[in-house]
Structure 1
């Protein structure tokens, strides 16, 4: 049995996120290239979300906050968004401190209840 190779990128549906692994230290000159990578993944890949693996970024600082803000801006301009994979608690606290909100992989969105949580109904409550 044989299979002919197809030209072009493999098919990726809109629900499958693209992944961008961020290197340990990102220089100011590399930020523009990473923003271009985000735009390319959103435009060419057909995904609506780019997952940024930040586990290897090292200790968080304002340079990391600037990088993530620029990546989010590039994603929004391309019609998508970024989601963080593997952030340290210190990075989450720093992002919260400066007022940036990112969706973290594995966390429920604000409007969604956490998995396994069900709404309880009191027996004395009148039906709505």
Structure 2
């Protein structure tokens, strides 16, 4: 987390993941540089995670899917992963269609139950 002090830079602890802002369209020659940047961010930070702000990539297409898949592979090879921030509403559906799963910022992780969800109990159910 970061905390701002008066007249000073914010204090950032090791659990705050670095952010890579992606602005599109990204050319094929730029992909290798972005993969290297993800590896460098993972090596420099202690969070094991890089947040990719994909809000500036424009409408999703197969080029965006290819870019994100390559960034994820680079992150996994470096011992980390990426999380997507501000995706176009159609991007998660497109990624799901091609069989790719990405963690989206602001959504609970797969293994965590959503906050505020309670299990309903039917009258007559035995107590556990």
TM-score tier by shorter-chain length is 0.7 to 0.9
| RMSD after superposition | 1.5
Question: How many correspondences in the alignment?
Answer: 118
Once residues 33 and 60 of structure 1 are traced to their aligned partners in structure 2, the CA distance between those partners, rounded to angstroms, is 20
1:52 aligns to what SS in structure 2?
A: strand
Once residues 13 and 20 of structure 2 are traced to their aligned partners in structure 1, the CA distance between those partners, rounded to angstroms, is 15
- TM-score, normalising length: structure 2: 0.85
Once residues 18 and 39 of structure 1 are traced to their aligned partners in structure 2, the CA distance between those partners, rounded to angstroms, is 11
- Flag structure 1 segments of 5+ consecutive residues without an equivalent: 1-9
Matched, 1:95 2:98: no
Once residues 28 and 63 of structure 1 are traced to their aligned partners in structure 2, the CA distance between those partners, rounded to angstroms, is 9
Contact 2:83 2:104 in 1 (8 A): yes
Gap change, CA 1:118 and 1:85, over 3 Å in 2 = same
- Flag structure 2 segments of 5+ consecutive residues without an equivalent: 1-10
Once residues 33 and 77 of structure 2 are traced to their aligned partners in structure 1, the CA distance between those partners, rounded to angstroms, is 15
Hey, what does 1:115 align to over in structure 2? 115
Greater strand proportion: 2
**Which 4+ runs in 1 deviate beyond 4 A?**
none
Give CA-to-partner distance per residue, 1:39-97, whole Å, 9 cap, x none: 01111122211000000100111110000000000000011100000111211111011
Once residues 64 and 45 of structure 1 are traced to their aligned partners in structure 2, the CA distance between those partners, rounded to angstroms, is 25
Once residues 115 and 12 of structure 2 are traced to their aligned partners in structure 1, the CA distance between those partners, rounded to angstroms, is 30
